Amino acid sequence: MAFEPKFMKESPSQTAGPYVHIGLTPNLQDITGVYKTDPGAQMLTPGTKGERIAITGRVLDGSGMAVADAVLEIWQADADGSYGGAHGPSSNTTPAFTGWGRKATDSEGRYRFETIKPGRVPGPDGKPMAPHVTLWIVARGINTGLHTRIYFDDEAGANAADPVLTRIMDTRRRPTLVAKRSVEDGKVIYTHDICLQGEDETVFFDI
């Protein structure tokens, strides 16, 4: 009997739904026994080298209201500009710095990552890009996760030559990717709000 391939229709897309926090950060929702700690909750170890910083802000919708059910993930280089290698489930080693973090927003749409200031990594032409973190956002009402970056306002010279940031032709929109530095109780804080829509909409990348 000859095999006749059947061409299946594409499954309909869905948003992350109202339960994205439960699935990705169960301990945050007081659901224990799934993970000892939620994946991505801790990026640092005592052996992590580099300047300790916090990246924080709010996720806002088009009307300026807090998005309380978003989940954010960041990827970044370490202080030397290197990305951590993959570690399999049977690995006997633990990376000093994971380079990856996951956080859910709270009732006010706020997020916070405890991490280090990333080093510069080579761009498409081999020249170093400005220090940055890559950010992915998912929430109810978002069919496809949103990709963007966070740069740092105390890296003005590097930002001005960054091959990705400078591709944004409207220079008025570049600040939507730049976090503002402050110091609180000796801790370096970078504050950056993510606007999903509206006049101050964050620049997102089609990846």
Give the separation between CA 135 and CA 115, rounded to whole angstroms. 14
Report the distance separating Cα 164 and Cα 130, nearest Å.
Answer: 9
Beta-carbon neighbour count of residue 206 at 10 Å? 5
Can you give the residue range of the structural domain that contains 122?
A: 58-84+95-207
User: Does 23 score more than 90 pLDDT?
Assistant: no
In a domain, 21, yes or no: no
Q: Which range among 35-44, 119-128, 174-183, 198-207 has the greatest average pLDDT? A: 174-183
Task: For residue range 166-175, list pLDDT tens digits in order.
Answer: 999 999 999 9
133 lies in some domain:
yes
What pLDDT score was predicted for residue 102? 94
Question: pLDDT higher for 19 or 205?
Answer: 205
Does a structural domain hold residue 64? Answer: yes
Question: Which residues are paired to 114 by β-bridges?
Answer: 54
What DSSP line would sit under 16-85, residue for residue?
--TTHHHHH-GGGGT--SS-SS-TTS--B-TT--S-EEEEEEEEE-TTS-B-TT-EEEEEE--TTS-PPP
Q: What is the CATH number of the domain that holds 100?
A: 2.60.130.10
For residue 13, being part of any structural domain is answered with no
Q: Which residue has the higher pLDDT, 10 or 147?
A: 147
Q: Does the residue 161 lie in any domain?
A: yes
- The residue-averaged pLDDT of 85-96 equals 62
- Sequence-ordered alpha helix ranges (H) in the chain: 20-24, 156-161
Task: Examine residue 123 and state whether it is found in any structural domain, yes or no.
Answer: yes
Q: How many domains does the chain have?
A: 1
Report the pLDDT value the prediction gives residue 204, as an integer from 0 to 100.
Answer: 96
Q: Which pLDDT does position 173 carry in this prediction?
A: 95
The span from the CA of 121 to the CA of 132, in Å, is 9
Q: What is the pLDDT of residues 71-87, one digit of tens each?
A: 999 999 999 998 876 55
